A and B are shown apart, each in its own frame.
Chain A
Amino acid sequence: GENVEQHPSTLSVQEGDSAVIKCTYSDSASNYFPWYKQELGKGPQLIIDIRSNVGEKKDQRIAVTLNKTAKHFSLHITETQPEDSAVYFCAASGAPSGGSYIPTFGRGTSLIVHP
């Protein structure tokens, strides 16, 4: 089955700096890569996603890049703000199992933005 590795597990930055979180996946059949943000006491919220026919996608201060050859994708947050502090999860899906496409999640990155 799919295996997703996420690094780093903890990332501490100063407000205004950029933050980069990296994920690698193992199954070349995976073709959909969402990123979720989970704040304390809440469920994960989708912040951006990318499909395999696209190399990069941006949404204001957030961008995701995908390298299918190397099987890795990254989340980039520019001009970080204290409210960006949360746990971020990457996921990969696209290899059907039992008739459905269940995403495999990374272990999460705790991002701390210091004012």
Chain B
Amino acid sequence: KAGVTQTPRYLIKTRGQQVTLSCSPISGHRSVSWYQQTPGQGLQFLFEYFSETQRNKGNFPGRFSGRQFSNSRSEMNVSTLELGDSALYLCASSFGTSGVDTQYFGPGTRLTVL
């Protein structure tokens, strides 16, 4: 069974630009969560999508947004990039249908903002 895939793996952008990251979950998984990982803040939850609807949201500014498609693939977008947005962005998928279930992570997208 293929794991969670994320594209691209690396991105370099400049301040003020916007970026779109993509995540394909494990087949059969309908929940996709996004996290920002930095050395100083650890793993911080951005948002979760289930059946094309945002079901939960972390404490991030509105510049961070996402969406989910009918095939469960998800994208996240960051507009007006700031230097502090440099981080590893991780996507995790799970069944998401009943109670607590295990999240499986992708390899991440390393975003560098210059």
Contact = CB atoms under 8 A, between A and B. Distances in A.
Do A and B actually bind?
Answer: yes
Interface of A: 31-32, 34, 36, 41-46, 49, 89, 93-94, 97-103, 105-108
Interface string B28-60: 000101000000001101001010000111000
Interface of B: 4, 6, 31, 33, 42-43, 45, 48, 50, 55-57, 90, 96, 99-108
A46 B102 contact: yes
Nearest to B4: A43
A102 B96 contact: no
Given A45-B105, A106-B42, 18 more contacts: A36-B105, A42-B108, A43-B90, A43-B108, A44-B90, A49-B102, A89-B42, A89-B43, A98-B56, A99-B56, A100-B31, A100-B48, A100-B56, A101-B100, A101-B101, A102-B33, A103-B103, A105-B42
A36 B90 CA distance: 13
A105 B43 CA distance: 7
B94 to A, nearest CB: 9
B102 A34 contact: yes
Contacts of B99: 101
Contact of B100 (A32, A89, A98, A106): A32
